[in-house]
Amino acid sequence: MDINKYSPKFKLGKRNLLRLADFSAEEIFELLYAAKVFKKKFKVGENSPVLRGKTIALLFGNASTRTRVSFEMGIRQLGGDYLFLPKNETQLARGESIRDTAVMLGRYGLSAIVLRAFNDAQIQEFADNSEIPVINGISDTTHPLQVLSDLFTIWEVKGRLDNLKIAYIGDGNNVANSLIIGCSKMNMDVAIASPHGYSPAQDTVDRGSQFSDVLITDSIAEAVRGADVVYTDVFISMSGEDDEVKKQKLARYRVTKEVMALAKPDAVFMHCMPVHRGEEVAAEVVDGPQSIVYDQAENRLHLNKAVLAMLVK
Ligand code: CP
């Protein structure tokens, strides 16, 4: 379906956002249209106080710049309040159970909770025991908010989503998994080039293949040929800083000027950031004219506001 032919109703109802697989194409359109409205308002200094009287907990288990700041600022701009809870300063760090934490946090008047850097099973257990919406701010295998924001950015820059091709180069990590689901639901072709042993999960590939073409290859050229969007991420994401074997295997999966030349002439370069220049991407690409990485990062603000306004009641 073409997003430009969709008429948004701006209505989704109170619910969790754990993974993109739980959202239909139309529900994703709703979030992207809402992000568009919030961005337009932001640019003229307007804000809607839709979170007035609401407090959102941000329970974070790892470092974050974009996710944390875009939520904190977005919540303030919508008239709400937030509680930043570093996981290692809660009793979770001393072995308190996910279930007890989820049940108990629901009793303090919070309206939603953003969980960051928990694994999928923990996020599911949290949601199963929570009376308030749970939003996944990154897990070991998914990064749904990042990819919703990326879809919004691609829509802005390319004017459409369907029938585009996105090529992702590098580790088949949480961002790659969510790109497969999010982009395929938007009817974009997806090509992932990863070294042997570092491809995205097969069940994710199978699920994405129900909606569009999903190519998994170890060939950068095969993935990038004819792409409208070239995307990469850091070699090491949530864990494994000392994994030298992985770093070595990924070393040639770098987006360079030569790689960008294989894509369409008007292709854009994307990266969810933080960037390691000279590792997964050459500085001249990420700092060059095809790069839209700062727009991507900015759009985390508008998309997060859309998610909170649409899903938190
Ligand atoms: N892309 C992303 O999630 O950025 P942070 O790690 O800075 O939140």
Instruction: Inform me whether the pLDDT recorded for 307 exceeds 80.
Output: yes
For residue 268, the cross-strand partners are: 229
146 is a catalytic site residue: yes
Q: Using N-to-C axis directions, what is the helix angle for 66-77 and 293-311, rounded to 10°?
A: 50
Residue by residue, DSSP assigns 66-86 as HHHHHHHHHHHHTT-EEEEEE
* Residue 257 alpha carbon to ligand 1 centre in Å: 25
Q: How far is Cα 121 from Cα 12, in angstroms, rounded to an integer? A: 25
* Residue 65 alpha carbon to ligand 1 centre in Å: 6
Going by alpha carbons, the residue nearest to atom 4 of ligand 1 is 66
Q: How far is Cα 292 from Cα 211, in angstroms, rounded to an integer? A: 26
Q: How far is Cα 199 from Cα 173, in angstroms, rounded to an integer? A: 8
Going by alpha carbons, the residue nearest to atom 6 of ligand 1 is 64
Domain 3-143+300-311 top-level CATH class: alpha beta
Confidence band (pLDDT; 50, 70, 90) for 42? very high
- Closest approach atom of ligand 1 to CA 273: 1
- Is the domain 145-297 a CATH 2.30.30.30 member? no
* Residue pLDDT, tens place only, 243-286: 899 999 999 999 999 999 999 999 999 999 999 999 999 999 99
Instruction: Inform me whether the pLDDT recorded for 239 exceeds 80.
Output: no
User: Do 228 and 292 meet the contact criterion of CB atoms below 8 Å apart?
Assistant: no
* Residue pLDDT, tens place only, 126-184: 999 999 999 999 999 999 999 999 999 999 999 999 999 999 999 999 999 999 999 99
The number of beta carbons lying within 10 Å of the beta carbon of residue 142 is 25
**pLDDT given for residue 92 in this prediction:** 98
CA distances from 170 to 197, 201, 218 (A): 11, 14, 9
Looking only at Cα atoms, what is the longest distance across the chain? 55
Indicate the average pLDDT of the chain. Answer: 97
* Residue 259 alpha carbon to ligand 1 centre in Å: 25
233 is a catalytic site residue: yes
Per domain, the residue ranges of the chain are: 3-143+300-311, 145-297
